[in-house]
Chains A and B, each alone.
Chain A
């Protein structure tokens, strides 16, 4: 629950999502970059699909509810970059949070 809900980790996921969105290229390219950053390897096709699905469903919901996106982005102290689109950043924050919560990410084993 700490890793999921603690504002520090939510903020970390959001800032990580900002970096992901700074990458040029397709959604798949960005997710690929995120996997390399988090677990130092490429995501398998299945993993990339799971992450992409989470991005799409989250994006859909944040488009419908900009208020939720704005609330999520207010978590933490790091400023949100001026050019960021709130719905995309909020959705990518969900993906970043999931990747940062993977067993492989949080354990050395």
Chain B
């Protein structure tokens, strides 16, 4: 019996009426207590190029037309009506019924590096590492509103309750760190003030045991609340208390075999371990000023830049999946000003992270991803903004077995729909898992009579962007 068969929920367990499964689960758990955990994909389905992922998630929907997708034709057509041949019968968000007019790119593009990659002038730092970047211009998604679009980008499904990709990866591969969670989430906002919410559901383990859920560390203030023992409780007493709680829970698990009890036990172990690991993680005093300057980080300020530096420290400590959310890319209005703000907040730190990983020899086995839940329309909204757009947008990848210095796929001449080599969300997920040594078709759990997968029933590995 494969180990994954032990990790089923109480209801599924009762429903399927399988006995004795819980005891195997307990063995798993005891094995995990002795050190770093291992996932269910063991051995890997094929050799891995990437060991870990840092996903720099740009929430709100960054415009591809002011980041990575250069559209001179759209510039020429600015102010003219958008040809109906592009838009007829297509889904539209807030521009329903409005006159559709071409909105030219608000900034110039430049060629960078030996590879001559075209990147918007707002991103000169990314330009300086252009030869390390793998730009995908032909992403598309199905969902035109933020929350369902986040949900499909994170879980491969629009139905809430499916595991997020970080949970799948943690579940599949385990983590090298035993004193930090295998899936860590960091949030930042910066200027622009939209403050769009991101539901914690986006990093939920869904139907997987909840110990695989993403753990959000606070970027400012105490990273984890109540990380200190109460007054008068020393480390020994805390250890004894956690031991007693876990013994009590193990006794309950032996009687009930509910995998959520395993999760509880693992969480208390993790909580105790984090009480000693997190202060070290957050202590930036040993980072040289030159490194802080490279990122533009001021530790403790909760900025995207500080989170990027923290991401590298988490990667070094063996965290499998690190997801940063940077918010407020939803530029329906005032795009020109606001996209420049966001670029300023993310450009330098993203480039610094790539450079820093490279200098430490970690870029080869760390996949860095930069992108959001969708793109933005080539059409104007209100004369100075762009609406949500799903038919074509851009992603930027680096390291982890992706081809450096290439641009893959195209949108049509106005940047409306992915044209050459379209990449669906499932294709993207399949490719990400492939780089980690996982066949996306084989990473599945039984749930309500179905094999649930991150990629659902579609998804092809985009082999052309792999080294």
Interface residues of chain A, those whose CB is within 8 Å of chain B, are 1-2, 4-7, 10, 44, 46-47, 50-51, 53-54, 57-58, 61, 67-75, 90, 94-95, 97-99, 101-104, 107, 109
Report whether B249 and A102 are in contact in the complex, using a CB–CB cutoff of 8 Å. yes
Question: Which residues in window 239-286 of B have CB below 8 A to A?
Answer: 240-242, 244-245, 247-249, 251-252, 258, 260-261, 264-265, 268, 271, 274-275
**A104 CA to B234 CA, complexed, in Å:** 26
**A107 CA to B260 CA, complexed, in Å:** 10
Q: Which A residues are CB-close (under 8 A) to B240? A: 54, 57-58, 94
Known: A47-B248, A104-B252, A109-B258. A54 touches B241 (CB 8 A): yes
Output the least CB separation between A70 and chain B (Å): 7
**A67 CA to B234 CA, complexed, in Å:** 11
Q: Which B residues are CB-close (under 8 A) to A75? A: 230-232
Closest to B254 in A: A46
Mask of B323-348 contacts with A, CB within 8 angstroms, 1/0: 00000000000000000000000000
Report whether A72 and B232 are in contact in the complex, using a CB–CB cutoff of 8 Å. yes
Task: Report 27 cross-chain contacts, Cβ distance below 8 Å, ordered by A residue.
Answer: A4-B238, A4-B241, A4-B242, A5-B227, A5-B229, A46-B251, A47-B248, A50-B244, A50-B248, A51-B244, A51-B248, A58-B237, A61-B234, A68-B234, A68-B237, A72-B233, A94-B237, A94-B241, A98-B244, A98-B245, A99-B248, A101-B245, A103-B261, A103-B264, A107-B264, A109-B10, A109-B260
Report whether B261 and A1 are in contact in the complex, using a CB–CB cutoff of 8 Å. no
Report whether B241 and A61 are in contact in the complex, using a CB–CB cutoff of 8 Å. no
Interface residues of chain B, those whose CB is within 8 Å of chain A, are 10, 224-234, 236-238, 240-242, 244-245, 247-249, 251-252, 258, 260-261, 264-265, 268, 271, 274-275
Besides A47-B248, A98-B244, 9 new A-B residue pairs in contact (Cβ under 8 A), listed by A number:
A5-B228, A51-B244, A57-B240, A68-B233, A68-B234, A74-B232, A94-B241, A97-B241, A107-B260
Closest to A4 in B: B271
**A54 CA to B10 CA, complexed, in Å:** 30
Inter-chain contact count A-B, CB under 8 Å?
95
- A interface: dominant SS: helix
Cβ-defined partner of B232 (8 Å) among A53, A70, A95, A109: A70
**A65 CA to B248 CA, complexed, in Å:** 27
**A67 CA to B232 CA, complexed, in Å:** 7
**A80 CA to B232 CA, complexed, in Å:** 15
Report whether B226 and A102 are in contact in the complex, using a CB–CB cutoff of 8 Å. no
Q: Which B residues are CB-close (under 8 A) to A94? A: 233, 237, 240-241
Closest to B275 in A: A1
Closest to A35 in B: B248
Report whether A98 and B225 are in contact in the complex, using a CB–CB cutoff of 8 Å. no
Known: A54-B241, A97-B241, A101-B245. A1 touches B264 (CB 8 A): no
**A54 CA to B245 CA, complexed, in Å:** 10
**A9 CA to B258 CA, complexed, in Å:** 26
Q: Which B residues are CB-close (under 8 A) to A50? A: 244, 247-248, 251
Report whether A102 and B245 are in contact in the complex, using a CB–CB cutoff of 8 Å. yes
Report whether A61 and B236 are in contact in the complex, using a CB–CB cutoff of 8 Å. yes
Of B10, B245, B249, most A-chain CB atoms within 10 Å: B245
Known: A47-B251, A50-B248, A54-B244. A1 touches B231 (CB 8 A): no
Of B225, B233, B261, B268, most A-chain CB atoms within 10 Å: B233
Report whether B260 and A103 are in contact in the complex, using a CB–CB cutoff of 8 Å. yes
Report whether B230 and A1 are in contact in the complex, using a CB–CB cutoff of 8 Å. no
Of A5, A6, A54, most B-chain CB atoms within 10 Å: A5
Report whether B245 and A1 are in contact in the complex, using a CB–CB cutoff of 8 Å. no
Output the least CB separation between A104 and chain B (Å): 6
Known: A44-B251, A103-B252, A103-B264. A98 touches B232 (CB 8 A): no
Report whether A71 and B10 are in contact in the complex, using a CB–CB cutoff of 8 Å. no
**A103 CA to B238 CA, complexed, in Å:** 17
Closest to B249 in A: A103
Output the least CB separation between B456 and chain A (Å): 29
Report whether B248 and A71 are in contact in the complex, using a CB–CB cutoff of 8 Å. no
Report whether B244 and A53 are in contact in the complex, using a CB–CB cutoff of 8 Å. yes
Cβ-defined partner of B230 (8 Å) among A10, A98, A102: A10
